Structure 1
């Protein structure tokens, strides 16, 4: 037994690193996106740092359209993908998940003047009578919000994306904008850098309102591989350790902050 263990350890030491591909959402800025021939984003940077500290693996991060990436995981061709939310019933083909990477907080960003008389901490009741902007095709806000919309207590304005909604908000064409906090802040930063959003000029000052919900992003692994990836458990264990240490030391928060500066 001792001889067998020694031979196995020797083989592991001499073996080349296992080449692994993790798929990434190609169009989810600022978290994960493909731009100018390069995969970028907050999750991308975190995972790059994390896998660089793992032993025995050579990891390739590949950008794909989100739905295509999920299909690759579902049919067992893909090993892992980021950043799915934890939805076991909706996506039973994803298991296990890494430990949580980031909290994605959905908020309402509003014109500052709306908070002069009240803090508006309660969602959605404190936002009755207002016009709320959302991205077309998104269904954020929760059941109570959409029931209020149905009853005419709140109005909704749908446009293409972050940029359009923030500009509409700055020009007072809507009262608030509902989306992920970091996505809003990142897009607002880009607009200010290009001069498209001018708080000292024609655009109003913005202020964060209520937190609507919190989701967490993960690396999700296929459970449809039929033993194709026998190293999955070890890979996940090492990745979890790297993620935990980045959280513990504040390194992960620094990556987020750098994207928002």
Structure 2
């Protein structure tokens, strides 16, 4: 591929809000579109129209290890939109999803998980206790959640549906944490590194981490309606690349670099 042609493809991708990660000779019949959250640092973020964060670095490196004629782009959008794009068939893979077969039955294949995330409950001081059982002992409280996130888990959402927990959605982690610090919600369930990065960067006070709820493998979820030779070969090669990166220490290096060691 000529440098000028490669530049042109990247320019076109930027125009439409895409990050052209790897563009190989054009035998592929379609662009494989992966979508991630734009506001879930340090895992997923955006600088202008470019997808950034740990996941973008992981995918970019993985694609350098994949042989074949694939054209791949990564787009960073609000999480609820990313979920909708994969569910509706506008994109092929949801980056950073947890295993949620009940709420996301349209995901047909999950990639190898390059890392796991620790999910924690954050509350205003005095609202909850560390020896509580999650989510049963949190009944009667008002929680925040990132719009479209399934992070709190099925049992939590069953209690919301049953009227035992009140729920308010906000677009980003920072907005939920500021609502919590301001007393507008009682608690908030979020991945520990993502929450504490925002707390530290923003100097947010009046919040305590009460307990950890789970360790969640984070994966790429490919929609079930994407099938055929390209889908099978790409997902298989992506798994192999992610596995290799875990074994040779690349994943650890990416994460350490992102969080400053």
Shorter-normalised TM-score: what interval?
0.5 to 0.7
* More off after superposition, 81-90 vs 141-150: 141-150
- Equivalent residue for 2:11? none
- Tell me by how many angstroms 1:207 deviates: 4.1
Q: Aligned-pair RMSD on alpha carbons?
A: 3.8
* TM-score, normalised relative to structure 1: 0.65
Asked if 1:188 corresponds to 2:199, the answer is yes
- 1:195-234 aligned at under 5 Å gives the runs 197=204, 203-204=205-206, 206-225=207-226, 227=228, 230-234=229-233
Asked if 1:158 corresponds to 2:168, the answer is yes
- Equivalent residue for 1:135? 145
- Equivalent residue for 2:121? 108
Kindly tell me: are residues 40 and 180 of structure 1, through their superposed partners in 2, closer, same or farther at Cα, counting changes over 3 Å?
same
Kindly tell me: are residues 221 and 166 of structure 1, through their superposed partners in 2, closer, same or farther at Cα, counting changes over 3 Å?
closer
Kindly tell me: are residues 225 and 141 of structure 1, through their superposed partners in 2, closer, same or farther at Cα, counting changes over 3 Å?
closer
Aligned partners of 1:246 and 1:258: how far apart in 2?
15
Structure 1: gaps of 5 or more residues: 1-14, 198-202
- Equivalent residue for 1:242? 241
* Post-superposition CA distance 1:175-207 (Å, at most 9, x none): 543223233123224314xxxx3xxxxx34x54
SS, match of residue 54 in structure 1 = coil
* Post-superposition CA distance 1:25-72 (Å, at most 9, x none): 353522334431211132222111111122224543231531123322
SS, match of residue 174 in structure 2 = helix
Q: Is the 8 A contact 2:135 2:155 kept in 1?
A: no
Q: Is the 8 A contact 1:141 1:178 kept in 2?
A: no
Asked if 1:256 corresponds to 2:248, the answer is no
- Tell me by how many angstroms 1:163 deviates: 1.9
51, 70, 82: which one aligns with 1:39? 51
Q: Is the 8 A contact 1:101 1:243 kept in 2?
A: yes
* TM-score, normalised relative to structure 2: 0.65
SS, match of residue 61 in structure 1 = strand
Aligned partners of 1:91 and 1:149: how far apart in 2?
17
- Tell me by how many angstroms 1:233 deviates: 3.0
Aligned partners of 1:29 and 1:23: how far apart in 2?
16
Structure 2: gaps of 5 or more residues: 1-23
- Equivalent residue for 1:3? none
* More off after superposition, 42-51 vs 85-94: 85-94
Asked if 1:69 corresponds to 2:99, the answer is no
Aligned partners of 1:85 and 1:157: how far apart in 2?
20
Aligned partners of 1:142 and 1:212: how far apart in 2?
12
Kindly tell me: are residues 95 and 146 of structure 1, through their superposed partners in 2, closer, same or farther at Cα, counting changes over 3 Å?
closer
Q: Is the 8 A contact 2:32 2:72 kept in 1?
A: yes
Aligned partners of 2:158 and 2:244: how far apart in 1?
40
Aligned partners of 1:189 and 1:220: how far apart in 2?
30
Aligned partners of 2:219 and 2:259: how far apart in 1?
21
